[in-house]
A and B are shown apart, each in its own frame.
Chain A
Amino acid sequence: MDIGRDELREMLRLMITIRRFELKAQELFEEGLARGQFLGALHSYEGQEAVAVGVCAHLREDDYVLSSHRGHGHAIAKGAEVRRMMAELLGKETGISRGRGGSMHMFAPGIGLMGGNGIVGGGTPLALGPAFAAQYRGTDQVTVCFFGEGAAAQGVFHESLNLASLWELPVIYVCENNLWAATTPIADAWPVQDLAPRAEAFGMPGLTVDGNDVLAVHEAAGEAVDRARGGGGPTLVEAKTYRHRPHCMVIPEHRDEEEREKWHARDPIPRFEGRLLEQGVLSDIEVADLRTEIDAELEEAADFARESELPGTETIHEHLWA
């Protein structure tokens, strides 16, 4: 693995930032509940940080990301402003989508973040678009589509892989297989328990990777991004991972404790951090400093979100038409 120290540190920083963002989001959500305000469905990315960070490490600002309903991690890894994401969760005018999108619809087209999606699988055909535009214009931009294994049961997912491969589009389909689609285990959804083999049917490479190992994700994604950038067409990457929380804030935990403990033991953050410490890439003090820096950023982001103004109700018709 030929990754420089600064990049490794940055990957760790992003992973911890995502984790801390989710914890802070939880806090804000509970503050809202205490005020009698339910701030929509919040889908936590905790546990899956290695996937977004390992993939987005290869992306340039002008590359595109199409995200899912569980998209906070993708946005942070693509470089979105954390304070504006936090403000979005509270529906503030300063939010990353001016408070019109919320948790599932964070947009920052200036950095290629083309939004999350409230429809499971809804982003899979959309991702073909920026990829097609790049191919048509002859640029070497790539598009990454993140989706969960739940989306891989949708018809449109298969149509999208078919067209991506047929037209050799520069798109990388990254399945975050966290084993549960809302409350339905994968065993009740897929006759075959792996996704990557489906790639073969569409004539594209399929890779399976440990989604809790950021370096493994980084390596697989690097291969896929290089292929797309070089005109070699799409790749399907299946990252096996696990979410630490239930599907969303309103659904109680239904997964058994043994399974959860097994996956918590493979938490991608301590794994990566331990490795960096062990190999002397970072020292204890440097990691502690990093955490302090991130905590301060998140505190500031939460204050920014709390103190920002709500949009005026007279603006409901704004932003509908171009």
Chain B
Amino acid sequence: MRNVTFVRALNEAIAEEMERDESVVLIGEDIADCGGVFGVTAGMLSRFGRERVRQTPISEAAFTGLAVGAAMAGLRPVSEIMYVDFATTCMDQILNQAAKLRYMSGGQVSVPLVIRTQQGGGTCEAAQHSQNFEAIFAHVPGLKVAIPATPYDAKGLLKSAIRDDNPVMFLEHKLLYEEKGDIPREEYLIPLGEADVKREGEDLTVVATSLMVHRALQAAEAVADEISVEVIDPRTLVPLDLEAIVASVRKTGRLLVVQEAWTSGGFGSEIVRRVVDECFEALKAPPRVHGSADVPMPFSPPLEQAVVPSAETIAEAMRTAAA
């Protein structure tokens, strides 16, 4: 095993897939000479050249459309939208085009495209640089949604996403890029649609994603004397490994979903709905969702911290859910 950062893991996944398959090209803003503002594509330009590392003007709609069209024509573009917030300027290309082209064509075209982007708060960048949109993408049929929490998951999932013949929204977190973790020396892939149990427990199932996996693990440790918490990371929301979540709820009888996205109308509610559909009889207490306060992200540091779930607020939510 090697201990690498999240950024390094992503970088290796991209480089390995580019090495393996010439149809993989990179498209996005500031990705060539500076290697991406978060450094994910560092070194790609010198290794693969300008033909394959295409730095674009600030034109999300144009370059996302280009990536979708190139995918239809058989390339495997990996495009980068610098902040998920900027994806709002190319939602037509993501939601109306990429997600629907295969279905509308009666299965004649496919869109093997990965759109990488990063989400989340924690950097005092205010309301237009701190959002979490996984529920929007997961809501629209035709898009796969990956949302990794660890370097190991990030590398294995990204390699699978690049090889997938469908459009995949790959949602990273700005606070996790420097997070370190062990990855194997040899090549590995993680299939889309396989949850991972990050901590085993008996009393309460906590489903968490992205940064919230780490905070949920801290909270689980903090309440370990009172509650035995199982933390499950679905890793992808579409497809969703409902089986793993349901199996855990059948064991614990209690469910708490922790997400950084706004509490209302988020994917957490969807997980609760599916668990209720699937195993209502196994629930010993009301299933709950703990997410961000339903407000645009405020700039001021104490306000920002108050909006997003912390290990402390998650621990509190665990106590409530386990009561």
Contact = CB atoms under 8 A, between A and B. Distances in A.
A100 B107 CA distance: 9
Interface stretch (A20-28, A156-164, A212-220): A156-164
Contacts of B61: 125, 155-156, 159
B165 A130 contact: no
Contact of B104 (A107, A129, A156): A107
Given A136-B51, A319-B102, A109 B108 contact: yes
Contacts of A126: 65-66, 68-69, 72, 93, 97
Interface in B250-291: none
A119 B142 CA distance: 18
Contacts, number: 143
B106 A125 contact: no
Interface string A283-322: 0000000000000000000000000000000000011111
B112 interface: yes
A132 interface: yes
Contacts of A101: 104-106
Contact of A319 (B25, B64, B107): B107
Contact of A134 (B73, B96, B112): B73
B67 interface: yes
Nearest to A166: B57
B296 interface: no
B106 A107 contact: yes
A107 B69 contact: no
Given A125-B64, A130-B72, A97 B108 contact: yes
B77 to A, nearest CB: 8
Contact of A109 (B51, B71, B105, B165): B105
A125 B65 contact: yes
Contact of B69 (A128, A136, A156): A128
Contacts of B65: 122, 124-129, 156, 160
A129 B108 contact: no
A125 B102 contact: no
Interface string B94-129: 001100011111111111100000000000000000
B75 interface: yes
A211 interface: no
Q: Which interface residue of B54, B62, B96, B109 has the most chain A CB atoms within 10 A?
A: B62
Nearest to B99: A320
A64 interface: yes
Contacts of B165: 322
A179 to B, nearest CB: 25
A66 B96 CA distance: 15
A162 B62 contact: yes
Interface string A90-101: 000001111111
Contacts of B88: none
A108 B107 CA distance: 11
B70 interface: yes
A281 interface: no
Q: Which interface residue of B25, B70, B101 has the most chain A CB atoms within 10 A?
A: B70
Contacts of B108: 97, 107-109
A162 B59 contact: yes
A74 interface: no
A148 interface: no
Given A125-B69, A155-B61, A163-B66, A320 B102 contact: yes
B21 interface: no
A100 B108 CA distance: 11
Contacts of B107: 98, 318-319, 322
A136 to B, nearest CB: 7
Nearest to A105: B104
The 7 A-B pairs at the shortest CB distance, nearest first, are namely: A129-B69, A125-B65, A98-B106, A319-B107, A322-B165, A159-B62, A107-B105
14 contacts: A95-B106, A101-B106, A117-B97, A119-B96, A122-B96, A125-B63, A129-B70, A130-B70, A130-B72, A130-B73, A132-B70, A163-B66, A167-B54, A322-B112
